[in-house]
Structure formats: structure tokens, C-alpha cells
Structure 1
Amino acid sequence: MTDHPQARLQHILEELAKHGRVTVKELAAEFSVSPETVRRDLKQLEMEGHLRCIYGGGVTPRRDADQPISQRMRVNAREKAKIATLAARELRDHSKIFLDSGTTMLALSRYLVDRPLINIYTNSLDIIQTLSGVESNNVVAVGGVLRPSYRAFLGTDTLNVIREHLFDIAFVSAVTVDINLGFMDLGEDEALVRRALRRHAKQVVMLADSSKFGRQGNFCTYNFRDVDLLITDAPPRADFLEKLEEAQVKVIYA
């Protein structure tokens, strides 16, 4: 196949339309060019809005996790509600917990309105708003640089606050779950917050609905062994369950 740049770009778009994703390895072999050349092509197409680069390739840009949180809350709402119900059962009075900025976390926060004996830390603007009417001193807003698309505080200041504490439970989320790379995110800032929580929590509880399994993100946030408990809405695939069992991750599903 020709290695003319425009011909490559057109072929990549055709493959993307057919399959929804392309890989650097396959395209490099098909075009007889270096992986670096393919990555430059993918980056150009990403800048033009045709795809989103991920680890090892590219995917169609229309992904739920790329949307603002207000739109993401409407995606898989029933599944997130199931997960939140199960997660609420892990809550204990007088515990100190952190809720990160995932949409499932917002669903969980609604169970905390009547739980004044739980000390809640969060960097989520929406969770702060949800709990702002509670007549209690048990909610701590963890600040930083406000990222409007995430409706969350992220960055160095957020990390510094987390590093000053030890939480009984950190409730976290992820954008995708890959069979080989584990729990992944799209943005580096959110990945860094979740990694800091791993080091400053006695227990990490991952909330991830079943649609996230078998997809890839941009950043490898957690290996499977970094998570103590996974709560999801349906039984994971057998290969995922095997990996999770090997990593000694407890799995609960609706």
C-alpha cells in the first residue's frame, strides 16, 4: 500500500468507520512505515476531530467519557444507581471516606445526605453541591484547579490535600477497564488524584459499570492489584474475573 500521507489518512478514516478503532501496529505493517509515522498520522486526525488517540492506536471520538458530566450522568443511569446502592452498604458510621469525581460517585453521594456520622472528603463540585444542604460539619471540599468539563478540582493543590490525610475508604472510578492494562483514565490529572488516593487510603473501592470493560483509555491508573473491592452492575467476563481473582480483588455485582 502507498505510503503517501493523504492516502494513509484516508485509509485510516475508512478503517475507523468500519471498525470503530485502529491500531498502530497493524497500520504500520499495512503501510510499511514506522510506528512513529502512524502515531503522527493519528495525532493529526485527532487534532482535526476525526478520532481520539488511545494507547496503541485510535478510536472514534464519540465516547461517553469525553462528554461533560451533565451528559454522562444520563448514560447508564440505571446501572450507576445499582452500583451506588451496593456501595452504600460498605459505608460505616464514624469512617473517613473520599469520593472522587466520577458520575457513579455522584449517585453514591445521594445516600450520604442522611449520614452525618460519616466524614466525607471530595473534589467533586457536584457532590459538594449535593451535600451542601446537610446540616453537619462532616463534608470537606478538597480544592485545586477547577476543571469545568469534569466539574472537579484537580492539580497540585488537590494532591497536596490528599497527601495530608489517611482515609478509611477511597471510592474511585475509572473511564475504562482493559484486560491487560487494568483501570484506565483519559486525563492525567484525574489519574494522579486516584493514584494518590491509593497511597492514602486503607481500602480502595472501585465503582465501574459494565460498559467500561474491554475498552482502553490514555493513562494506566491502577493495576488490578491496586484495588481492594470492585463494585459493578453485572458479572464481568470470565477472563476479567480470572484476572481479578489472581489480583485478589473482591468483586460485587448487582
Structure 2
Amino acid sequence: MSQTFRHPEILEIARREGKVTVDDLAARFGVTLQTIRRDLTELAEAGRLERVHGGAILPSGTTNIGYQERRALNADAKAAIARACAARVPGDASLFLNIGTSTEAVARELLHHRNLMVVTNNMNVANILVANRDCEIIVTGGQLRRTDGGLVGSLAAGTIGQFKFDLAVIGCSALDRDGDMLDFDIQEVGVSQAILRQSRRTFLVADQSKRQRTAPARIASLAEIDTVFTDRPLPPDLQRRCAEWGTEVVIAEADGDR
């Protein structure tokens, strides 16, 4: 396969899996490691990928990738994480679901839960949960972000301040080695921090691709999270910190990984 055809394929794999490795790409395309390294260097120089040890990831920066790309990225892992998370959500509870494709996956797994009150700043979550007649839905209001149906800003944060949730299920754009949850939109960060303050228990849903990216704004530490649902074990140092913080880590494997 020529370079012209490899580059789009490499980018598609990176969008789907969050990361590409030199060894895997060389085996997929039947070319040398040196050829793949050259491909990745050229894609990095063009701003399409960011080189890391042993491969490349989607470029970091100050803007998130597109909503449809995020929805397709690691879809099987997100579904497995959502199932594991929803299994821990009791009936007869009040909860908050924030912005993100991972929390939307959780909403789909809550369609048969009974007697829920869900508050959300995610229009997509609200539309999904309409199908559950045993779920009361409250939308925060706020400035509508057309790209993903999110509601952000002081109105959203102010609405959240009027509640005390049994449970919050949140996502993030990135998770760094120190255990800090990160995001791109400073207004969304303020809303997420309000959610954490107003919730008795908090769950984070974050697939492995979040650990391969970065974002400029800090939400909070995993020390403030009760349970992390992810699809791959955390790095040993971060796993040890979570144990010290009392943060539970649940690994939810997709069907194809079993």
C-alpha cells in the first residue's frame, strides 16, 4: 500500500482507537518499522497526529475533536463502561449526568431503571431518557453549545447549586498521569466543579483514550471521585494513588476483549 493510501488509514485508526503504534501499523500494512515512523513523522509535521514513544496519538491542544468523531471513538469500550456504571446506579435516586458521549452511553443503560430523577446539562441525555417513563428529567438551562448539545455557563452552574444529588456521573476530555481530570471549555469546567460540590457520590466514566490526550483546563483530582469506570487498568503509579485516595477503579471490558 502506498503512502497516499496509508495516511488516511492511519488517521482513521487513530480516531477509532485513540492511539496508533509503530509495531501494529507495520504489521497491518506489511511495511517496515522505518516506513511507519516516516509516515507518522510526516503526519505529525502536518499537524494531523502527535508523536509519542512507540507511536502517535490524536493531536492535543486547546480544542476538542468533533462530536461525531468522539461518539465513534472507542464505542464498544464506552458501552461496556456504561453498563458497568449503570449497574451501580440504584433506583429511587437523584443523579446528575453531564456533557459527553460517555455519559450519553450511561443514559442509554438507564432506560429500564425505576423512579429516577435525572438532572442534566446535556440535551442529548435528556432526549435519550425521554423513553424512560419512570424517569423525571430536569434540564439545567444555560448557554447551548451547538456542537454537542451541552448547556454551559453561570445559569447551568446556578441551577446545579439548588440541588444535592445522591450521585453524579461525569465524563472528562482527558485524564493525566497525576490523576487530574481535564477539559477544553473553561465554562464546562466550572459546571463540572459545581456538580462535584453538590453530589454525595461521584462516578467518572472515562475510556483509555482519555489517558492518551491532554486538555488545558483542570476540573479536579480523582481523589474527589468515588469510583472510576474505565476499560483498561490505570498506570501503576496512578492506581497506587487511587488506592491511597480511596478511589475505586472498575475495569469494564468490551465483549470483544473477553
Superposition TM-score tier, normalisation by shorter sequence: 0.7 to 0.9
Deviations 1:74-126 (A, max 9, x none): 11000000100100111111110000011111111012222241111111111
Between the two proteins, what is the percent identity of the paired residues?
A: 23
Match of 2:9 in 1: none
Match of 1:10 in 2: none
The equivalent position to 1:173 in structure 2, one of 164, 171, 174, is 171
TM-score (norm 1): 0.73
Residue 201 of structure 2 aligns to which amino acid in structure 1?
A: Q
**1:230 to 1:137, Cα distance in 2 relative to 1, 3 A:** closer
Deviations 1:150-191 (A, max 9, x none): 311111110000000000111011111111261111111111
Inter-partner Cα distance in structure 2 for 1:242 and 1:206: 17
Secondary structure, counterpart of 2:72 in structure 1: coil
Inter-partner Cα distance in structure 2 for 1:114 and 1:130: 12
TM-score (norm 2): 0.72
Secondary structure, counterpart of 1:73 in structure 2: helix
Inter-partner Cα distance in structure 2 for 1:20 and 1:247: 37
Q: CA RMSD in A?
A: 2.6
Contact 1:181 1:220 in 2 (8 A): no
Contact 2:178 2:238 in 1 (8 A): no
Cα offset for 1:250?
A: 0.7
Residue 173 of structure 1 aligns to which amino acid in structure 2?
A: G
**1:189 to 1:217, Cα distance in 2 relative to 1, 3 A:** same
Inter-partner Cα distance in structure 1 for 2:246 and 2:42: 38
Match of 1:76 in 2: 74
Inter-partner Cα distance in structure 1 for 2:192 and 2:102: 15
After superposition, residues 73-222 of structure 1 pair within 5 angstroms as 73-136=71-134, 138-180=136-178, 182-222=180-220
Q: Which runs of 5+ in 2 are unaligned?
A: 1-39, 50-56, 253-258
Between 174-183 and 162-171, the greater mean CA deviation after superposition: 174-183
Inter-partner Cα distance in structure 1 for 2:43 and 2:193: 33
Deviations 1:189-235 (A, max 9, x none): 11111100111000111111011115321111111211111110121
Q: How many residues align?
A: 205
Between 189-198 and 241-250, the greater mean CA deviation after superposition: 241-250
Contact 1:209 1:233 in 2 (8 A): yes
Contact 1:20 1:60 in 2 (8 A): no
